[in-house]
Amino acid sequence: MFKKPNPAKRLNLVLIGSICVGEALIMFALPSFGTTSNLLTTFIDVIFLCLITIPLVNWTVTKPMNQYIHDLKSARHTIVVRENQMLAALNALASAKDNETGNHIIRTQQYVKLLGQRLQKMGRHTQILSDEHIERLFKVAPLHDLGKIGIPDYILQKAGKLTESEREIITGHSMIGESILIAAQSEDVEEDLIFTAIKVAGSHHEKWDGSGYPRNLIGENIPIEARIMAVADVFDSLISDRPYKKAWTVDDSYQYIINGSGTAFDPIVIEAFIAERQNFEAIVNSIPS
């Protein structure tokens, strides 16, 4: 954690101190110039004050400030490197158990990016969806089903219909994923990768009308990152072969998702989804199931 004191905080003190000391010295030195006009007195005063204040501020504030900024940057860099290492480890963990293909991961990453960028262009959620945050969402998208590592294989790979109790077990993956990620979160970074991953893993099965799980969140209470992930994940599940179903066509999948606007999905995200149809199809065609 970065705990060095910020040198800028001492700037006021240094300025006031150096002006007081400078003025006192000038008062003593001025008589040695003999009788001078007001203009010359002011000029000498300013020159002396600059000669005293500038080196003092430079020595006590500017130089330490440069060092402080340098240390801050390298601390930030260390955090980013650690986050990426953590992300790589978690990704490996998630894919070790996931029954979905690597291409599902690549496609959903691309979809969330498209949806985030489109929402940004539409002027929606621009405070959250900065370029940097969309990149974060892109990076953490593969972790949405991390919690499946806690679900038995016989349920994940079951070809037929799940029983009621099996369905209940599988719905636990949102909370399992969230708990793993909370344990991996750094305390000192407020909006880090893992924090975004927690929102995605914990809420990607919530539904706009409150009928989702695990918390039955409604509408805007569902993090926007999870609302985006939900559309990307369901769309890709529909266009893919799964142990329990054959792949749907893009047309049928699009229609299904659009029909869920306002019930399963956020209507604004669906607007973005419709606007991005061409790009979605391009991804489906270029990255096979």
Binding region for Fe ion (CB under 5 A): 145, 233
Could you tell me how many residues make up the chain? Answer: 289
Residue 109 or 120 having the CB closest to Fe ion: 109
Residue 7 or 206 having the CB closest to Fe ion: 206
Residue 178 or 233 having the CB closest to Fe ion: 233
Q: How crowded is residue 273: how many other Cβ atoms within 10 Å of its Cβ?
A: 25
Distance of closest approach, residue 164 Cβ to Fe ion, in angstroms: 18
Distance of closest approach, residue 130 Cβ to Fe ion, in angstroms: 25
Helices 224-239 and 267-275, axial angle in degrees (round to 10): 50
Distance of closest approach, residue 233 Cβ to Fe ion, in angstroms: 4
**Longest alpha-carbon distance in the chain:** 104
The per-residue DSSP string of 85-105 comes to HHHHHHHHHHHHH--S-HHHH
Distance of closest approach, residue 149 Cβ to Fe ion, in angstroms: 12
* CA distance linking residue 216 with residue 207, whole number of Å: 7
Residue 116 or 177 having the CB closest to Fe ion: 177
Distance of closest approach, residue 197 Cβ to Fe ion, in angstroms: 13
Residue 145 or 178 having the CB closest to Fe ion: 145
Measured in degrees and rounded to the nearest 5, phi and psi for residue 243 equal -55, -30
Give the pair of three-digit tokens for residue 153. 């294989």
* CA distance linking residue 260 with residue 262, whole number of Å: 6
Distance of closest approach, residue 234 Cβ to Fe ion, in angstroms: 9
Residue 230 or 272 having the CB closest to Fe ion: 230
CA distances to 117, 141, 245, 288 from 285, rounded to whole Å, are 21, 20, 20, 6
Long-range contacts formed by 251-258: CB under 8 A, 24+ apart: 254/280, 257/231
